[in-house]
Amino acid sequence: MANKITCSLCTVFEHDMDVMFMQGLLSDNGFLALFLSKTDWHNKGLKPIHGELSNTDADLGETDIMIMLTDGTKKYTLLIEDKIDAVAQPEQYQRYIKRGDKGVAAGEYSDYRIFIVCPEKYYQFDNEAKNYKYYVTYEECAEYFKIKDNAMSNLRYQEIMQALEKTKRPSQVTVIDEANKFFKQYCDYQKANYPTLDIRTKDTSNGYWVEYRTAFPYERINLIHKMPNGYVDLVFARSKENIAKLEYICEWLNSHGMPGISAHPTGKSTVLRINVPALHYETGFTNVPKENIDNCFHAISKMVEIAKLLNSIQSFLEK
């Protein structure tokens, strides 16, 4: 890039990033598309018409970034929580839902989608963050701005990278008593009914995403039950460029007695996925239908077998 402009910030605060993200979403159609591509709104032809920072409801708290969109007839809204390294507040995602529902009821917009935008490391380690169905990482944003040959994108790239430099693993996660109780009962049910499964997630966590050991020896492949999302995912880290290969594997599995498996890109990774009933700790474990719980564990067991199959093929090819 000719005559590249550089900037150096003594520190970067979340409000600085809020401003940058809002400006980008309102002015850069490609950056907006990065967010919309994560949702079912990607083909609605939505255009931004309004943005707000720190939109606060006296009873339901604050929305960091609000972006109003329109398809020419109806209005839609993105409600975005931005985090660099601050620990998420308990029930933060649920308050976003309540604020979104309130806006729909008031006729402010027809529908909404809730995002968290944060460093990839933050999303991995903060359990509350994993409640968000839609997320965009700082790294994805940096990658987007890095390849654009204009001064504003270059400055935005540098700001994101300086924000990433200050990130650290959160010193603690917000452990919610009800969520931890639900997870422990989940673990007890697994031990009593599916003893061959091996949970890696510590029982001192909220357990929103439960990781399982598999026979696969590779560190970059993980089996995760994403309880509130309703997914059982076999995750292949940093493999987005190989999605076509995973789709082929998926087709083969579907045609050989293992239906209901799909392949998806997720950020820089890809997953083999089985959709299962979503499990929410607010329901209480004893109130979840046994059929729903067993559906989840059957899917997890199936993914363990798939991991064994892939491991055997890999081991065979390496000999």
Whether the pLDDT of residue 1 is over 50: the answer is no
Q: What value does the mean pLDDT take over residues 257-265?
A: 90
User: Structure pTM?
Assistant: 0.55
Top-confidence range, 8-22, 199-213, 240-254, 292-306: 292-306
**Confidence bin at 29 (pLDDT 50/70/90):** very high
Count of structural domains within the chain: 2
Q: What is the DSSP letter of 241?
A: G
| Residue where one domain finishes, among candidates 137, 165, 193 | 165
**Confidence bin at 2 (pLDDT 50/70/90):** very low
CATH code where residue 289 lies? 3.30.1460
Q: Is the dihedral of CA 191, 236, 171, 79 positive or negative?
A: negative
Decide if 2 is inside a domain.
no
Mean pLDDT of the chain: 88
Beta-ladder partners of 81: 116
Determine the Cα angle at 299 with ends 304 and 193, to 5°.
85
Instruction: Write out the residue range of the structural domain in which residue 109 sits.
Output: 14-165
Q: What is the DSSP letter of 196?
A: T
Q: Which residue has the higher pLDDT, 165 or 44?
A: 44
Shared domain check, 190 and 148: no
Whether the pLDDT of residue 176 is over 50: the answer is yes
Tell me the C-alpha distance between 127 and 81, whole Å. Answer: 15
pLDDT digits (tens, 9 = 90+) for 38-69: 999 999 999 999 999 988 887 888 899 999 99
* Nearest alpha-carbon partner for 221 in 240, 239, 236, 205: 236
Shared domain check, 101 and 26: yes
| Residue where one domain finishes, among candidates 135, 165, 195 | 165
Q: What is the pLDDT at residue 317?
A: 54
Whether the pLDDT of residue 318 is over 80: the answer is no
pLDDT digits (tens, 9 = 90+) for 7-23: 666 567 788 899 999 99
Shared domain check, 155 and 20: yes
% the chain with pLDDT above 90? 58
Shared domain check, 48 and 121: yes
